[in-house]
Amino acid sequence: MIFESGQLNGAAPLPDPKNTLRSGNTHWPSAPAAEAVSRFARTQRKIIPTMKWFALTFALLACVARAEPISPLDVDLELVLCVDTSDSIDSSEFALQRQGIALAFQSEEIINAIERGALGRIAVSLVDFSDDASVRIPFVIISDRKSAHRFANMVLASNREKNGNTSISAGIWTSVQDLDAARYIATRRVIDVSGDGANNRDWPEFGISMDTAVALAKKNHIIINGLPIESDESDVAGLYQKWVLTGRGAFMVAAKDVADFARAIKHKLILEVS
């Protein structure tokens, strides 16, 4: 707000001395001048509290902008890495997958993207799927370089539990259960499914199929993104587009082969974390 000499912006002007009546050495305001003084005083009484209100509002907004975590359980993102370990992924390709995830979380781009978040922290877990699915790494908080490198080392240390058919449905179902059991509070919950083939194994005895798994994710407001790994099987990306991607804003980043997985997962994670 700009103050000009003799006038408060938006207020009535101060009385002109010419409009005053003289009585000895005392100057008594004329009626118009007195009214102007009264209006000026009323305006001041309105403006000063308003200015205080604006000052308080700006201070509160500054605190909100900092977005300090309300509790240690608040995170910007809950992310499950749901990874194909079926028979179509041999031991060297399995190692490349693990290395690609680890390298991504060791990269400065990912760490910086996490730190730039409103809260500067995310929660990540790892689920493997083949004939069925299991949580290989429970949720871990990542907020800086040290915690990101620690998670990367956990990924490298996690061995292959089993292989078999490709049950993407079991992977999604288990990932949803993992998210629902987590104690964290996030504005976004995402499952990141990666694999090189179509779903070829369901668990009808438990009511688990692609339809029921995806429906459960939708019901719980969980986004499912995809990282299809192109292989001998035709149009893996098309299959993921049709059956895997779920939720508003869901997307996929394709890898040309398992050797290209590291590039694809890093690019995808930057988009998911940012």
Question: Using CB atoms within 10 A of its CB, is residue 63 exposed (0-12), middle (13-18) or buried (19+)?
Answer: exposed
Residue type, 270: I
Under a CB-based contact definition with an 8 Å cutoff, are residues 173 and 133 in contact? yes
pLDDT recorded at residue 231: 82
Instruction: Give the model confidence (pLDDT) of 39-93 as tens digits.
Output: 645 555 554 455 554 555 554 554 444 455 568 899 999 999 999 999 999 999 9
pLDDT recorded at residue 58: 52
pLDDT top residue among 172 and 206? 172
Find the radius of gyration of the CA atoms of the chain: 31
pLDDT top residue among 8 and 103? 103
Structure tokens at 158: 């996690």
pLDDT top residue among 163 and 255? 255
Q: What is the CATH number of domain 74-273?
A: 3.40.50.410
Under a CB-based contact definition with an 8 Å cutoff, are residues 99 and 84 in contact? no
The segment(s) of the chain belonging to CATH 3.40.50.410 are 74-273
The model carries a pTM of: 0.75
pLDDT recorded at residue 220: 97
Instruction: Give the model confidence (pLDDT) of 189-226 as tens digits.
Output: 999 999 999 999 998 888 999 999 999 999 999 999 99
Angstrom CA distances, 3 to 10, 33, 41, 113, 174, stand at 9, 21, 16, 44, 65
Query: What DSSP state is assigned to residue 25?
Result: T
User: What does the mean pLDDT of the chain come to?
Assistant: 83
